[in-house]
Structure 1
Amino acid sequence: MARRLEPYCWPLRPFDRAHPVRAYFNDPRISGSSRAFHFGIDISARDGAAVYAVEGGTVHLEGGRSLSVVSTGGGRSFGYWHVVPSVRHHQAVRRHQLVGHVEAPWAHLHFAESTRRQYRNPLRKGALAPWLDPSSPRIAGIAFSRGGKELSPLEVSGSVDVIVDAWDLPPLPVPPPWANMPVTPALLRWRVLRNGKAIRPWHAPVDFRRTLLPPSLFAVVFAPGTRQNRPNKPGRYRFYVAHAWATRRLPNGLYRLEVSAADVQGNRAHAALPFTIANRR
């Protein structure tokens, strides 16, 4: 039977208080032609801030400005990026021991957790603690699209993509130039109703709650128009919840598409779009 992994503290002081997080797990990362999912979280911190081990273990230096600590017993590994190390390669460290300082000019600590070489969401329940988010994500829009062109919901036909604009805000204020920047919801679901009855049940094509998605899925998850946050320039998150959805499988008529967006703590937002299927029969 697998050993249950315990929650762990914050890698910055105070250890028992949540810190502002300016980027979430699986947020989009876009650089030139590169597309990937964010493999950790970015914790806001002043340049030079002390960084501490969240669990005891063995240090592995991974370049000049990053390190990991493999926990005693090998259950999991914690990564610390944009850090000037103050420890040696293969040094044993204890919980809450200083491992380095935030490197200028990054003004944040990129923090990651992995188990059996699989990155996991540090903000999930039972991991980084304490973490409390009382607010819900936002759904900014729902659209049908084909060939990159948005379609009118008044006359939907053939195979269509379903795209949702959705975002969340961190629960703790983040300093400029990253203030009020959106982050991704952890879960998106959708369903279709007719006359109040679900004719396509809830389906969850976007799920960021637990593990990292591979870069090969970027264009499957994120629709064109998605932008990464930049200093003083908020990003935008457009999600495919369906590719080439075959409307011909349903009779012509009026329907209702419902979308739910949730964070890791289960706070939810809901939105709906009435639409009409009008295929030539």
Structure 2
Amino acid sequence: MRRKTNPKFWLYGMLATTGLILGTPLWAQYPWPVAPFDQSHEITGTFCEYRDTGSSPHFHNGVDIPKPDGSPVYAVVDGRVTSMSATGSNAYVRVENFAYVHIAPAPGLSIGDSVFAQQTILGTILPGMGHVHFVDGYVSSERQPLRQNGGLTPYEDPWPPQISNLRFFLGPTGQPFTNNQLSGPVDITFRVREANGPPTTRESRLNNGAYIVGYQILSPDRQQVVFSPSANGVQFKFDTKPSNSFVHNVFDPAQSSTSSHVYRVTDKVTRRIFWDTGQLPEGRYTVMVFAGDTRDNFDTLYVDVSVSRRDLLPPAQPVLLATLMNAGPEFSWKAGNEPDLAGFRLYSSPDNAAWSLFRDETTLPGGITHYAPALTLPAPTYFYLTAIDSTQPPNESQHSDVYGMAPDSHAKKLLIVDGFDRTQSSGSWHQPWHWFAFTHGEAIAANGFGFSTCANDAVISGDIDLLDYDAVFWLLGDESTADETFSSIEQARV
């Protein structure tokens, strides 16, 4: 259950910001670098949100202010130009501790020139950029430009952030828990979408990162805090930018991208730590996670969980390598090597909707990775595989991708190759399994042909020889550097 709130009872005193950074008062106010100077502007990128651009992932060291290409950008304070560059998309002008990035420096502007707030045009927004990236602070000393009672003024933001995709993992292994049943060291992650406009505005104004992120563990009735990682539960509060070497302590690299900010809320900025459920008695609890912006708008999410000492972690998700229609059906897969792996369960469906258990762990014990039953399949049939451990009752893993097979009346051999691997970060598909081969199988069967299915891994390894087939349908996915689409090895096989 979610409750939008401004939870001052646990944030009391937290938002006061005083002191100096590099001799500049934290409360210092200045106008906007684009016209109109004295009106609030939209934000398409917040301070310290996740960035996977450039040479390596990093914290966003400023804020992005959208304006049309070619718009003039002005100085926000009087000062002198201390550095500038007209090269590339990151061309910039720096006026002492303020940097204005993605702008073409104004003709005639030189290092050492005096500039004046709201009067001197430093440059214009570069073609194709659509925003100025504004930085308050020198490199490694950047600070929050949207801070309360300081920074860019005025700044209006009545819209709260939104929390979603709350997930629980077993600490160092990264294995996901299911059904909110937890044990051992737990890693908690969730996505935050900080809004800078109403729901009807552009997506780029609705998917920003948070200013404050935290969590607490409550009693089942939510009346008592039974564990808090800090005095008020706050884990991250971005008044200044941390070292980029800590970015993956704050953000989960498997789930985060420039447009999707997924926080590892159990961590500290400088180190990876987990919620140790072993410090609490077994039983039921409520996990409360929260996120806020610089204007005291918060979202809070409550999730009921159970803590147990018994093994609640299922085996690793198996990889279904092939479902082949040869003389009869043949299945091959690969799985983890957990010491308590009891076996596998193979499920079948005629339509990818109504599923039933086809074979269980008594037929498919742990240790085998191939199965060829002596039977025939008269019609297209689809399958997925799970792994089972020896705990009673057993823990069952997430299931594999959905693959299929069908008999062929034309004496032809057709193969569907599943080359879709990208499920993380900014790709289009984020589930740990997919059924895309089913769509291709249905189309092939509708034209009177049979088919088999395999993973591209089986082709790469040489276990599947494409020359054995009369036709091959290669299913491609999103491109990325980690999950390359149609690699050079795959191209060589084809």
TM-score range, shorter-chain basis?
A: 0.7 to 0.9
Query: In structure 1, what is the equivalent of residue 210 of structure 2?
Result: 185
State how 1:8-87 maps to structure 2 within 5 Å: 8-31=30-53, 34-64=56-86, 65-70=91-96, 77-86=97-106, 87=109
Summarize the Cα distance change of 1:63–1:174 in structure 2 as closer, same or farther, 3 Å threshold: farther
State the alpha-carbon separation in 1 of the partners of residues 137 and 177 from structure 2: 42
Q: What per-residue deviation string (whole Å, max 9, x for no partner) do you get for residues 236-270 of structure 1?
A: 22111113321111110011111111101111111
Q: What per-residue deviation string (whole Å, max 9, x for no partner) do you get for residues 164-209 of structure 1?
A: 2222122279987x6455001111121111243211134211222x
State the alpha-carbon separation in 2 of the partners of residues 33 and 269 from structure 1: 33
Q: Give 1 or 2: higher strand fraction.
A: 1
Query: In structure 2, what is the equivalent of residue 151 of structure 1?
Result: 177
State how 1:124-135 maps to structure 2 within 5 Å: 124-125=147-148, 126-135=150-159
Amino acid at match of 2:183: S
Specify which structure has the bigger relative contact order, considering alpha-carbon pairs within 8 angstroms and separated by 6 or more residues.
1
Summarize the Cα distance change of 1:32–1:14 in structure 2 as closer, same or farther, 3 Å threshold: closer
Q: What per-residue deviation string (whole Å, max 9, x for no partner) do you get for residues 5-34 of structure 1?
A: 530000011111122211111111103761
State the alpha-carbon separation in 2 of the partners of residues 30 and 142 from structure 1: 21
Amino acid at match of 1:226: Q
Amino acid at match of 2:163: I
2:125 to 84, 97, 102: 102
What SS is found at the alignment partner of 1:275? strand
Q: CA deviation at 1:151?
A: 0.4
Summarize the Cα distance change of 1:61–1:257 in structure 2 as closer, same or farther, 3 Å threshold: same
- The answer for unaligned runs of 5 or more in structure 1 is 71-76, 230-234
RMSD: 2.4
Sequence identity, in percent?
A: 27
Bigger shift: residues 99-108 or 112-121: 112-121
Summarize the Cα distance change of 1:224–1:118 in structure 2 as closer, same or farther, 3 Å threshold: closer
Please report the TM-score for the alignment, with normalisation by the length of structure 2. 0.51
What SS is found at the alignment partner of 1:134? coil
State the alpha-carbon separation in 2 of the partners of residues 150 and 265 from structure 1: 34
Summarize the Cα distance change of 1:122–1:173 in structure 2 as closer, same or farther, 3 Å threshold: farther
Summarize the Cα distance change of 1:136–1:175 in structure 2 as closer, same or farther, 3 Å threshold: closer
Summarize the Cα distance change of 1:116–1:220 in structure 2 as closer, same or farther, 3 Å threshold: closer
Query: In structure 2, what is the equivalent of residue 216 of structure 1?
Result: 245
State the alpha-carbon separation in 1 of the partners of residues 66 and 47 from structure 2: 14
Query: In structure 2, what is the equivalent of residue 272 of structure 1?
Result: 302
Contact 1:182 1:236 survives alignment (8 Å): yes
- The answer for unaligned runs of 5 or more in structure 2 is 1-18, 267-272, 312-494
Query: In structure 1, what is the equivalent of residue 488 of structure 2?
Result: none
Aligned length, in residue pairs = 268
1:263 to 269, 284, 293: 293
Contact 2:43 2:205 survives alignment (8 Å): no
What SS is found at the alignment partner of 2:275? strand
State the alpha-carbon separation in 1 of the partners of residues 211 and 200 from structure 2: 19
What SS is found at the alignment partner of 2:163? strand
Query: In structure 2, what is the equivalent of residue 207 of structure 1?
Result: 237
State how 1:235-254 maps to structure 2 within 5 Å: 235-242=259-266, 243-254=273-284
Q: CA deviation at 1:45?
A: 1.1
Q: CA deviation at 1:149?
A: 2.5
Amino acid at match of 1:156: L
Contact 1:19 1:172 survives alignment (8 Å): no
Summarize the Cα distance change of 1:36–1:103 in structure 2 as closer, same or farther, 3 Å threshold: same
Q: CA deviation at 1:85?
A: 1.2
Summarize the Cα distance change of 1:110–1:61 in structure 2 as closer, same or farther, 3 Å threshold: same
Summarize the Cα distance change of 1:153–1:224 in structure 2 as closer, same or farther, 3 Å threshold: farther
Contact 1:173 1:180 survives alignment (8 Å): no
Bigger shift: residues 122-131 or 218-227: 218-227
State the alpha-carbon separation in 1 of the partners of residues 55 and 33 from structure 2: 33
Amino acid at match of 2:237: D
Please report the TM-score for the alignment, with normalisation by the length of structure 1. 0.87
State the alpha-carbon separation in 1 of the partners of residues 277 and 255 from structure 2: 25
Query: In structure 2, what is the equivalent of residue 74 of structure 1?
Result: none
Contact 2:85 2:105 survives alignment (8 Å): no
State the alpha-carbon separation in 2 of the partners of residues 256 and 40 from structure 1: 35
Summarize the Cα distance change of 1:31–1:6 in structure 2 as closer, same or farther, 3 Å threshold: closer
State the alpha-carbon separation in 1 of the partners of residues 42 and 215 from structure 2: 30
Amino acid at match of 1:200: F
State the alpha-carbon separation in 2 of the partners of residues 174 and 13 from structure 1: 24
State the alpha-carbon separation in 1 of the partners of residues 303 and 200 from structure 2: 33
Contact 1:225 1:236 survives alignment (8 Å): no
Amino acid at match of 2:181: E
Bigger shift: residues 245-254 or 163-172: 163-172
State the alpha-carbon separation in 1 of the partners of residues 95 and 300 from structure 2: 40
State the alpha-carbon separation in 2 of the partners of residues 166 and 82 from structure 1: 26
